[in-house]
Every structure is written in C-alpha cells, then in structure tokens.
Amino acid sequence: MNGAVVIGGSAGAVQALLTLLPALPADFARPVLIVVHVPPDHDHGLVTLFQAGCAMQVCEAEDKQVPEPGTIYFAPANYHLLVEPDGSMALSADDPVNHSRPAIDLLLESAADALRSRLIAVLLTGANQDGAEGLRAVFRAGGAAIVEDPETARVPTMPAAGLALCPEATRLAIDAIAPYLLRLA
C-alpha cells in the first residue's frame, strides 16, 4: 500500500466528515480509514449515510482486508480498527481505550507504526482526548499530522488535546482539509 489517510473524530464528526469526504475525488490516491465514536450496540449506518454524497467508494472495514486507493473505510461499531505491519486492516474486540471502541489512538498508532512517513492523520471535532497520543505517534514516525482548528470545530476538546500533545500539527478549518489532503496525496 502506498500509504493512507487516517481520520478520527467524535462529537460533531459526522457533520465535519460531510464537509470533508464529499470534497475528495473518486480517484483519490490513498485509502481513507476512519474511526468515529458511535454507540456500541448498533450498526452505525455511516456507510449508507456517506455513500450517497461521496465520489469515493464507501464501505465498512473488514478484518485482514488490504485497503484500496479511492476507498473510504469506516471502523465497525464495537470493534477497534488497526493497521497491520503489512498494511492490511485488522479488527479487535479488546477493551475500550479512552472509554471508546473503536478508539482513535489505536488506529493512529498502529497505522503510524506500519506506514511511517507514508501516513497522513487528521483529528477532527470531539468532546474527549482520544486520538491525541495517536497524532503524536504519527508525527514522530514521520507522517503528516493535521488537526481541525479548535476555534472553528464544533467541539474543540479533541483537536485542542491533539495540538497540546503535538503542537507541530497543521491546523486547518474543516473546509480547508480536503484541498490540503489533495496537495499532499
């Protein structure tokens, strides 16, 4: 795999993704892996919600699947999503981390480990601190770290926590993230 984009978000993230994801073209050069905090008991319906408005393919991540460019993968409800050293995706039913399953930190840290400088990570709006350590891991591994600007994010806690641990992260308003990804990818 030629790298990937990983995105994490919590409260307000669905709205933010409705701005970000439809702005990416069908032939976007990297796969996009996403963790959104959702209640555990239900299939979250994110695939159906985003399929309609996105040019990229949208699906739920499957265990051991190798992610393809031009495709968006959502972590299933109640499972962690990780990236294996060979670039394939893996699910886990381990304990919640930061009270969340899926947890953003697990996706970002494992992807940073696997993809190093070929990884771009985006931390969006949210009301907790999941993802901050992951973002720092991405930066330390040589990847690109992006944070939704806490001043304009719906809920600033998560992006602010990301910036606190990883002050080098690029800070962008939500509608500037897709154009920035297109320049990087």
Partner 1 sequence: MSKETPEPDIDDIEIELLLEALFRRYHYDFRHYARASIKRRLIQARGRLGMTSFSALQERLLRDPEMLAKLLNYLTVQVSEMFRDPSYFRALREKVIPHLRTYPSLKVWIAGCSNGEEVYSLAILFREEGLEQRTLFYATDINPKALKAAEAGVYPLDQIRKFTENHQKSGARTSLSDYYVADYDRAIFDSSLRANVVFSDHSLATDSVFAEMHLISCRNVLIYFDRGLQERAVGLFEESLVRRGFLGLGRKESLRFSDHAAGFSDFVREEKIYQRRDR
Binding string, 113-152, against partner 1, x = CB under 8 A? xx-x----------------------xxxx----------
Does position 79 interact with partner 1 (CB under 8 A)? The reply is yes
Interface stretch with partner 1, choices 25-33, 60-68, 120-128, 171-179 (CB under 8 A): 60-68
Catalytic residue among 10, 44, 100, 110: 10
**HSE-up (13 A, CA, CB side) for residue 178:** 17
Considering only CA atoms, which of 116, 107, 27 is closest in space to residue 73? 107
If one asks whether residue 82 binds partner 1 (CB under 8 A), the answer comes out as: yes
Quote the least distance from Cβ 35 to partner 1, whole Å. Answer: 14
Compare residues 44 and 155 and give the one whose CB is closer to partner 1. 44
| Binding flags for partner 1, 96-115, as an x/- string (CB under 8 A) | ----------x--xx--xx-
Strands 4-9 and 32-36: parallel
Which string of DSSP letters, residue by residue, matches 95-125? PPBTTBSS-HHHHHHHHHHHHGGGEEEEE--
Instruction: Closer to partner 1 by CB, 49 or 97: give it.
Output: 97
Q: Return the half-sphere exposure (C-beta side, CA atoms, 13 A cut-off) of residue 66.
A: 6
Establish if 6 lies at the interface with partner 1 (CB under 8 A).
no
The span of 14-22, 45-53, 58-66, 175-183 binding partner 1 (CB under 8 A) equals 58-66
Q: Which helix (H) or strand (E) holds 160?
A: helix 157-165
Which residues face 122 on adjacent strands?
Answer: 7, 146
Report the residue number, 78 or 152, with the smaller CB distance to partner 1.
78
Q: How far apart are alpha carbons 170 and 145 in whole angstroms? A: 6
Q: Give the residue among 84, 93, 169 at the shortest CA–CA distance from 131.
A: 169
Question: Is residue 17 at the binding interface for partner 1, with CB under 8 A as the rule?
Answer: no
- The pair of structure tokens assigned to 48 is 């159906």
99 is catalytic: no
Catalytically active residues are 10, 37, 130
Question: Contact residues for partner 1 (CB under 8 A)?
Answer: 62-64, 76, 78-79, 82-85, 90-95, 106, 109-110, 113-114, 116, 139-142, 168
